[in-house]
Structure 1
Amino acid sequence: MSDASFSLPAGGPHTGAVAPMAGGSAVADWINLLKPRVVVLVVFTGVIGLMVAPGHLNPVLAFTAILAIAVAAGAAGALNMWYERDIDALMRRTRNRPIPAGRIEPDAALSYGIFLSVASVVVMGLATNMVAAVALAVSIAFYVLVYTVWLKRRTAQNIVIGGAAGAFPPVIGWAAVTGHIGLLPVLLFAIVFLWTPPHFWSLALFAEIDYARAGVPMLPVVAGPRHTRWQIMLYTLLLVAVSLLPWALHVAGPIYGAAAAVLGAGYIVASWRVLRDAQDAGGHSLTRDAPAKAAFRYSLLYLALLFAAVPLDAAFR
Structure 2
Amino acid sequence: MDRLDMLRTFVAVADNASFAEAARRLRISPTAASRAVAVLEASLSTVLLRRTTRSVRTTAEGAIYLDKCRAVLADLDDAALALRGDAATPGGTLVVTAPVTFGRLHIVPIVTAMLRAHSTLRVELTLVDRVVRLVDEGIDVAVRIGDLSDSALYALKVAEVRRILVASPRYLAVHPAPAGVAGLHGHSLISFDELDRTQEWRFGSSGKPAIRVGPRLIVNAADAAISAAIDGLGIAHVLSYQALDAISSGQLVTLLDDLAPPPIPVHLIYQANRRTSVNVRAFNDAARMHFGRLDLSGRLTTASTRGKRKIALTTAIGGKRPLVRGRT
**Same fold by TM (over 0.5)?**
no
State the TM-score, normalizing by the size of structure 1.
0.24
Would you tell me which structure has more strand in proportion to its own residues?
A: 2
